[in-house]
A = this chain, B = another copy of it.
Amino acid sequence: MHPTITAFERSPDRGRGQARDMRVRWALEEVGQPYDVRLVSFEAMKQPAHRALHPFGQIPTYEDGDLALFESGAIVLHLAERHDGLLPKDSNGRARAIAWMFAALSTMEPPIVELTMAMLVERDKSWYAERLPLLQDRVRIRLGELSRRLGKADWLAGAFSAGDLMMVTVLRRLNTSGLLDEYPDIAAYVARGEARPAFRRAFDAQLAVFTGAARSSQS
């Protein structure tokens, strides 16, 4: 039996890999763990059966035997603890890589989601033109800080880790914002992540859901 994750039945981003199942797929591919996928509709996500797995009615979820988890960060950390390849072996390095996971989700992602959501749902509001630059500048501050810390390194904490995996997926949300063009070193960092074979396999698998090439259960 392989673990089973959930993903959108109809990908709202048309398979660009922005949904949060991408993070879990990528982690599973990095550690070489085959998995099954159960696709859920937007209606089913809000029903009690799915809410038993995910209290907030979202994807992804993760089921493996009698363990059921939600939150992409928690699932990736669980996989990183169980398999080699996503966390350093030494305890201090491990703690620092985990700190970058939290930084990706808690410090970088909120202003990025606020910006990209405003670009989607506030575009016809009277305040959009005045508010957009404020949101962009908040993201720019974080990108500048990340760029200074990354410096000439390939990854945030030594070798590629779960911290980079989370950070790259968060930064990819900026793909349509134009902001990554202002930070070539950050754009190159994202490209390094996207060039990893495990990323490609995960990306192709989530794209196949949109193109119709995926079986509803894959391994």
Residues of A within 8 A of B (CB): 51, 55-58, 66-67, 69-75, 77-78, 92, 95-96, 98-99, 101-103, 105-107, 109-110, 113-114, 125-127, 130-131, 142, 145-146, 148-149
Contacts and interface: CB of A to CB of B under 8 A. Distances in A.
Contacts of A148: 51, 55
Contact of A57 (B114, B131, B145): B145
A107 B72 CA distance: 11
Contact of A95 (B74, B92, B107): B74
Q: Please report whether the interface of chain A is mostly helix, strand, loop or mixed according to DSSP.
A: helix
A163 to B, nearest CB: 10
A71 B149 contact: no
B107 A110 contact: no
B67 A92 contact: yes
Contact of A98 (B57, B74, B114): B74
Q: 9 tightest CB-CB pairs across the interface, nearest first? A: A127-B127, A74-B99, A55-B149, A71-B102, A73-B102, A110-B110, A74-B102, A105-B106, A67-B92
6 contacts: A55-B149, A70-B103, A71-B107, A74-B95, A78-B95, A110-B114
Contacts of A103: 55-56, 70-71, 74
Given A55-B145, A66-B92, A125-B127, 9 more contacts: A51-B145, A51-B148, A55-B103, A72-B102, A74-B101, A74-B102, A78-B95, A105-B106, A127-B130
B71 A99 contact: yes
Nearest to A163: B74
A126 B109 CA distance: 27
A54 to B, nearest CB: 9
A12 to B, nearest CB: 17
